[in-house]
Structure 1
Amino acid sequence: MRIITFLILVFISSLGVVQAQNTTSPYSIYGIGVIENNAYNRTAGMGSTGIAYRSENNIINNNPAAYTALIPQMFHIEAGGSGDFSSYTNANFSNATTGYTNQLSNDFTVTHISFATKVTKFWGAAVGLQPYSRMNYDYNGLQPLGPQGEEATVTYQGTGGVHKAYFGNGFSIGKHFSVGATASFMFGALNQSENLIAPTANANVTTTRNLYMRNVLFDFGAQYYTHFGKEKKWGLTLGATYTPQQPLYAEDSVVTISGNTILPNGNVLLDRNVFQLPSGYGGGFQLSKESVMKRVSFLADYSRQMWSPLNYQGTGYSLENADRYSAGFEVSKKANIFNTPVEHVYYQLGGYYQRSYINVQGYPLQEWGATMGIGINPLRYPQWGYHIALEYGQTSNYEIGSIKEDFVRLTVTIHYWDRWFTRGRRVL
């Protein structure tokens, strides 16, 4: 009970910590920020490749159909954090604090916490909290004032993000097929400000825009899995996901202040409207070969989000379809505990390439990354599991003079599992 109480307290406290993002990300000024495509779970070391991944002892939320793979009569608790170390170059702006065009930033945040169990023989379920998008930028620019050639210094700042509290369910249909659905409560706030200072015109004007969003959304998944070959040592899993187009309700307000005075009509509720999130789909496969003490797996995924039909655009940017390709490789080794083979350690490699939903000045924002990971289930404490993933990548739209981000990301996940309070009775 102490373990459960402690992790529940971590969950409650993480509601605030998840929102405390400090990394400056210039491209997060567009849309609803940078959308999180990383899966902060066991698949992180494989480029977050996991639409067709299934695990008995880990919470895999890449596809809700995977919850049916969990061991019966066990509950699982998982929490993780991520450290990001970034370098920005070729920027046409300077940081508001340092004034340098080559900028460094680092940050550590709680990425997620989740709970899962096999409710019945045919039903697996999970609840959790994780980020959906993040907005964090802080930079200076120049803005012309009138025909005399005067310029004002403008500081642009933005913070916040959209978060996802989810309840996922997977259901087995026969021995080789599972389907799943996730209901998610999306919520969050985006806070953007522009501070214009023009000493010659004696002007100091700050405009702050606050956008609050919320709604319940749904997504779906399916997996087909089978074994074949001599002694059924080869395994194949096919996975698919689908998300329909759904609304995200938004309340938009603007406050304009000159000096310390709110300007006439400077505190305005612009609109209560709907921001549409796009439909999307994905597919993947896992091919594995298993022996008594080892399993070798290869995985690949593709996914797309249909932003173009929504026709969103702003000054200098538009939203377009987003594509993601990824692949991963894993070697899992077992050890004998009381003459029973139990997974002890696994090693992973992976990579991905994605075209973001953000198009800046006609050039799509692109990102690629290479990953590696290791997981350990200590033989002395087999109920605990530890996963560490290291990622190196780059983000840019590769236009001449554009911002290029090189980043290193370290992800740590802690997993605990134990038997439900069945008092020794077999319930399944």
Structure 2
Amino acid sequence: MIKRLLVVVLITISTSIVAQRNSSSPYSFFGIGEDISSATVEQSSMGGIGVALKDYTHLNFTNPAANADLRFTTYGIGGELSLLNISNTTGSESGNTTSLRYIALGLPLGKKAGFSAGLQPVSTVGYALLNRVDDSNGDFLQITRYQGTGGATRLFGAFGINILKDLAIGIEAGFVFGNIDNNIFDQRSGVSLLTKYEKETVVRGGQFKLGAQYKRKLKDKLELNIGASIQLENKLNVTGTERLYSFSFSSAGTEVPRDTLYNRAVSGTLTNPIKTIIGVGIGEENKWYTGIDYEFQDAFGNEGNIVQGSTYRFEASNRLSLGGYYIPKINSISSYWDRITYRAGVRVEKTGLLVDPTNSGNNYTSIDDFGINFGFGLPMPRDLSTLNVGLEYGQKGTTSNNLIKESYFNIRLSLSLNSANWFKKRRID
């Protein structure tokens, strides 16, 4: 009965991923929003490594070949609380968001293969900024408000199989969809009407990923893991409308549109180039593991009128992650603390976003990201299920060139629920 109830809960909360506000970052204004890593909470707690990691009790979204090692029916649910402080040369502001990061299910298919499917956000838009300009006497001159919501989500399925004793390959297919709304509100002193810019777009497209993992037994119980995944080039279709109009407020406080300066269609494609992740790790099964991942991708391309002006453009991106875990004694009876998985990692990332606050097209600054991670895997009473806690402190952007620097602290939680008997029919219920 409890398992049936859990399945209903999982299906219900999965619908909230599509509609939630996942970010309060001003950098989510650009493109289709702030990119969200596909790593699980367990992987994120190790700096995001995972392309070479083989694990039979946890899901792996980085490399579809890892599904070949699934030996139990596994549910994964992950959420995040993000505490954000944004600052520039004149001041700072704080905010926070709570979001569901993924929901997924993995199934072993015999002794050599496995399949997983899930739903998780790909990008997120969630910002609200207010800029006020006063004269030398402190009197109001202009107020501009920037606000955006939405993002893109992917529905995916992945398959992995061991084709040789130490070699596994995998394939993943996904569908990306979402809605993004941006608007700019402007009010000036001495002007009776206000102006508003609205842009509403729909994002659609497919994704395909290939992966491979190789494990080699070394002496003294050591194992060498090598992995790679390649997300093939794909195009996201972006369609919608944008309009600029003037308005006033009624006595009830609602907008009363006046003159429409333009109302036109938005159409184009965002080309997502090949993304490659390679990694290597060494460790002792169920004891310790340390690994390093390197991810790289060419600059995004775009066609049509989805990117306007010279405020931003894209460049090649890369990410370097280093991390691992340690389990004192996984089968300890006398000490619960010895059965805890202790995780840690660090990552350095060039996001691929260039921003020009002057809108001149010749004063771009690269937006970089950096994070330090810690985490714990807390064993649950039954089966091999765990409650995973991840902590991350990081910084993104810079205050130079009139830009914004973000300092964030993320608290992540996930449940990895494992059982060999989820889909076995009981004779007596």
What TM-score does the superposition give when structure 2 sets the normalisation length?
A: 0.86
- In the alignment, which residue of structure 1 is the partner of 2:108? 118
- In the alignment, which residue of structure 2 is the partner of 1:244? 232
- In the alignment, which residue of structure 2 is the partner of 1:68? 68
> What is the DSSP-based 3-state SS (H/G/I as helix, E as strand, rest coil) of the residue aligned with 1:46?
coil
1:313 CA drift (Å): 7.3
Gaps in structure 1 of 5+ consecutive residues:
93-100, 145-149
What do residues 96-119 of structure 1 show as CA deviations (whole Å, max 9, x unaligned)? Answer: xxxxx4101112111111000112
- Percent pairwise identity: 23
Q: How far apart in 1 are the matches of 2:391 and 2:347?
A: 13
- In the alignment, which residue of structure 2 is the partner of 1:97? none
- In the alignment, which residue of structure 1 is the partner of 2:340? 345
Q: 2:372 aligns with which of 330, 355, 370?
A: 370
Report which stretch shifted further, 218-227 or 195-204: 195-204
- In the alignment, which residue of structure 1 is the partner of 2:310? 315
> What is the total number of aligned residue pairs between the two structures?
399
- In the alignment, which residue of structure 1 is the partner of 2:359? none
1:42 CA drift (Å): 1.7
- In the alignment, which residue of structure 2 is the partner of 1:129? 119
> What is the DSSP-based 3-state SS (H/G/I as helix, E as strand, rest coil) of the residue aligned with 2:15?
helix
Gaps in structure 2 of 5+ consecutive residues:
135-139, 248-255, 357-363
Report which stretch shifted further, 40-49 or 301-310: 301-310
What do residues 46-105 of structure 1 show as CA deviations (whole Å, max 9, x unaligned)? Answer: 01111111111111111110011111xx3111111101011111256xxxxxxxx41011
Report if the CA contact (8 A) 1:31-1:358 is conserved.
no
Question: Is the counterpart of residue 187 in structure 1 residue 177 in structure 2?
Answer: yes
Question: Is the counterpart of residue 256 in structure 1 residue 240 in structure 2?
Answer: no
Alpha-carbon distance change, 31 to 377 in structure 1, aligned in 2, over 3 angstroms: same
- In the alignment, which residue of structure 2 is the partner of 1:166? 156
Q: How far apart in 2 are the matches of 1:84 and 1:337?
A: 34
Question: Is the counterpart of residue 89 in structure 1 residue 77 in structure 2?
Answer: no
Report if the CA contact (8 A) 1:18-1:111 is conserved.
no
Q: 1:269 aligns with which of 249, 265, 276?
A: 265
Q: How far apart in 2 are the matches of 1:23 and 1:243?
A: 25
- In the alignment, which residue of structure 1 is the partner of 2:33? 33
- In the alignment, which residue of structure 2 is the partner of 1:102? 92
- In the alignment, which residue of structure 1 is the partner of 2:209? 219
Whichever residue aligns with residue 241 of structure 1, its letter is S
Whichever residue aligns with residue 87 of structure 1, its letter is N
- In the alignment, which residue of structure 1 is the partner of 2:9? 9
- In the alignment, which residue of structure 2 is the partner of 1:141? 131
Alpha-carbon distance change, 143 to 274 in structure 1, aligned in 2, over 3 angstroms: farther
Whichever residue aligns with residue 284 of structure 1, its letter is G
Alpha-carbon distance change, 157 to 104 in structure 1, aligned in 2, over 3 angstroms: same
Q: How far apart in 2 are the matches of 1:176 and 1:142?
A: 62
Whichever residue aligns with residue 219 of structure 1, its letter is K
Alpha-carbon distance change, 91 to 106 in structure 1, aligned in 2, over 3 angstroms: farther
Q: How far apart in 2 are the matches of 1:279 and 1:263?
A: 45
1:274 CA drift (Å): 2.1
> What is the DSSP-based 3-state SS (H/G/I as helix, E as strand, rest coil) of the residue aligned with 1:202?
coil
Report if the CA contact (8 A) 1:42-1:60 is conserved.
no
1:400 CA drift (Å): 4.1
Report if the CA contact (8 A) 1:38-1:48 is conserved.
no
Report if the CA contact (8 A) 1:164-1:187 is conserved.
yes
Alpha-carbon distance change, 22 to 178 in structure 1, aligned in 2, over 3 angstroms: closer
Question: Is the counterpart of residue 303 in structure 1 residue 298 in structure 2?
Answer: no
Q: How far apart in 2 are the matches of 1:105 and 1:28?
A: 14
Report if the CA contact (8 A) 1:41-1:59 is conserved.
no
Alpha-carbon distance change, 336 to 165 in structure 1, aligned in 2, over 3 angstroms: same
What do residues 207-252 of structure 1 show as CA deviations (whole Å, max 9, x unaligned)? Answer: 210110112221111111111114xx01011010111211111212
Report if the CA contact (8 A) 1:322-1:355 is conserved.
yes
Q: How far apart in 2 are the matches of 1:10 and 1:289?
A: 34
> What is the DSSP-based 3-state SS (H/G/I as helix, E as strand, rest coil) of the residue aligned with 2:43?
helix
> What is the DSSP-based 3-state SS (H/G/I as helix, E as strand, rest coil) of the residue aligned with 1:175?
coil
What TM-score does the superposition give when structure 1 sets the normalisation length?
A: 0.86
Alpha-carbon distance change, 90 to 398 in structure 1, aligned in 2, over 3 angstroms: closer
After TM superposition, list the pairs within 5 Å mapping 1:280-291 onto structure 2. Answer: 280-290=275-285
Q: How far apart in 2 are the matches of 1:180 and 1:308?
A: 25
Alpha-carbon distance change, 127 to 364 in structure 1, aligned in 2, over 3 angstroms: same
- In the alignment, which residue of structure 2 is the partner of 1:49? 49
Question: Is the counterpart of residue 396 in structure 1 residue 400 in structure 2?
Answer: no
What do residues 120-170 of structure 1 show as CA deviations (whole Å, max 9, x unaligned)? Answer: 2222110111111111111133699xxxxx964221111111111110111
Report which stretch shifted further, 158-167 or 38-47: 38-47
> What is the DSSP-based 3-state SS (H/G/I as helix, E as strand, rest coil) of the residue aligned with 1:60?
coil
- In the alignment, which residue of structure 1 is the partner of 2:408? 407
Q: How far apart in 2 are the matches of 1:124 and 1:295?
A: 24
> What is the DSSP-based 3-state SS (H/G/I as helix, E as strand, rest coil) of the residue aligned with 2:52?
coil
1:270 CA drift (Å): 3.0
Alpha-carbon distance change, 143 to 269 in structure 1, aligned in 2, over 3 angstroms: farther
Q: How far apart in 1 are the matches of 2:78 and 2:41?
A: 8
What do residues 266-304 of structure 1 show as CA deviations (whole Å, max 9, x unaligned)? Answer: 443233x322222211100110035xxx51211100001
Alpha-carbon distance change, 248 to 417 in structure 1, aligned in 2, over 3 angstroms: same
> What is the DSSP-based 3-state SS (H/G/I as helix, E as strand, rest coil) of the residue aligned with 1:135?
strand
Q: 2:191 aligns with which of 184, 201, 205?
A: 201
Report if the CA contact (8 A) 1:113-1:130 is conserved.
yes
Over the aligned positions, Cα root-mean-square deviation in angstroms equals 2.6
Report if the CA contact (8 A) 1:395-1:406 is conserved.
yes
Q: How far apart in 1 are the matches of 2:20 and 2:88?
A: 27
